[in-house]
Amino acid sequence: MSSARSSKKVCVVGGGMAGLAAARELRREGLDVTVLEQRGGVGGQWLYDAATDAGDPLGMAGVHSSVYASLRLNSPRESMGFSDFPYIREFCDVFGLMDAVRLNTTVTRVAMSPPRRDGSLRWAVRSRRDGEAETEEVFDAVVVATGHYSQPRLPTIDGMDRWRRKQLHSHSYRVPDSFAGEIVVIVGCSVSGAELSLELRRVAKEVHLSAKSTGKTITSAMSSILARYDNLHLRPQVEHLCEDGTVVFDDGSFVVADAVIYCTGYNYYFPFLDTDGKVTVDDNRVGPLYEHVFPPELAPSLSFVGIPAKVVLPLFIEVQARWVAQVLSGRRTLPSPEEMVRAVEEHNRGMEAAGLPKRRTHDMFLDLERCDEYGERICGFPRMEQWKKEIFLSSISYMVDDIESFRDGYHDSDLVRDALRRHGWTPVAPRPQEEDDDADK
């Protein structure tokens, strides 16, 4: 290991899945890693926090996690691990990463510092630990791994600022209790909107699910659910809100509601990052980013892990983390800044030609072959096992067919069993007592 490699100091902002994956890969390459995490534990979104953004009814600041109490994975656990380690919870301990993590430490500013004599960039990172004064350190590189499910993306609806009843983003939703007996309007009919409507219909008087385009959005499974429950109703887009609690929809219909919940997605948000305009966020396009990771003018000293959406996690962020680590260690090289800019522009033109809005720039659309090709190309990452692809895609199919109870049926037991056998594991039938124990769980 060269002294230049081992002496390179890298700051990772965020101790969630992306930050921990980055920390492990950077250490594997012999780099000196410091992870700064604002909360009292690692895990990012998966570190459940019962608190909500009480200071702001729309949840624009404060609590990081968007996880609600009843949330369950919508992908099978067999495909939801790192490539060589299945459990996210123990990942940090097993790989000895905690000694690199500073908890309760909020990053307040990341900005370019005077470069080294050889012209390489450095970064001044200011942070503040709870109860302590702000400090500043200089690093050779910064990896931004803060996720993108914490800053609510809100619609623009006439009357939102005058609404006097309860309104919140799904980011601030935790449990259904406070909506008991109420009339609730849910804005947004993607996965979170559908799931919250199904949970709330059990306690609320009425739930009105508002969708931009009811014809395109509602699946046959959702249609059957709407027909099954008398207090669950499909509505068109909200046209405006009234101070007296009336919610008016595009077709002229209306309800008098007690609460409005916005299930309208999230924005990329890096309030601490100062790049003199070299990296911007424009309608959720973070850029320019070469391969969704490196800003051409600032690479490789600044990188982002975990920007793409609609990918298999945490496997995809492990791919990006490995590439960043290999580039920073000198094991791989990047194209010239000009070539990287051209590649970004070509990607954006392709998106526009396909009629995709700017906010979808970083979507991978759950295209598993495309994700495999991405990993192979940038860092030689092995392709996802075929059986994992099959079980992942089948879970998506089951969700489309039955969003209410698709998690409760184990449709893929044979697929998993056959895959494990191919890897040398022989299943043993449980004793009768074990079967009884499992039935009670």
- Write the pLDDT tens digit of every residue in 183-235: 999 999 888 999 999 999 999 999 999 998 765 556 666 777 888 999 999 99
Tokens 């509505």: give the residue: 235
Within 10 Å of residue 309's Cβ, how many Cβ atoms?
22
Asked whether the domain spanning 166-262 has the same topology as the one spanning 9-48+67-150+267-379, the reply is: yes
Domain ranges of the chain: 9-48+67-150+267-379, 166-262, 386-423
Distance CA 342, CA 73 (A): 38
pTM comes to 0.91
Between strands 238-241 and 246-249, the pairing is antiparallel
- Give me the pLDDT at residue 412, please: 64
The alpha carbons of the chain give a radius of gyration, in whole angstroms, of: 23
CATH architecture of 166-262: 3-Layer(bba) Sandwich (3.50)
- Give me the pLDDT at residue 439, please: 34
- Give me the pLDDT at residue 433, please: 39
- Give me the pLDDT at residue 214, please: 61
Choose among 271, 266, 241, 265: nearest CA to 255.
241
Distance CA 131, CA 379 (A): 41
Q: Are 290 and 296 in contact (CB under 8 A)?
A: yes
Give 230-251 pLDDT, tens digit per residue. 999 999 999 999 999 999 999 9
Ramachandran quadrant class, 87 (left: phi over 0; alpha: psi -120 to 50; beta: rest)? beta
Distance CA 292, CA 295 (A): 8
For the chain, which ranges sit under pLDDT 50? Answer: 1-3, 427-441
Q: Which CATH superfamily is domain 9-48+67-150+267-379 in?
A: FAD/NAD(P)-binding domain (3.50.50.60)
- Give me the pLDDT at residue 219, please: 67
Measured N-to-C along each axis, helices 220-228 and 386-401 cross at an angle, to the nearest 10 degrees, of: 40
Q: Are 259 and 203 in contact (CB under 8 A)?
A: no
- Give me the pLDDT at residue 422, please: 67
Which helix (H) or strand (E) segment holds residue 285: the answer is strand 285-287
Q: Are 340 and 290 in contact (CB under 8 A)?
A: yes
For residue 189 the two structure tokens come to 């009919």
Collect contacts of 112-116 with beta carbons under 8 A, ≥24 apart.
112/274, 112/275, 112/276, 112/298, 113/138
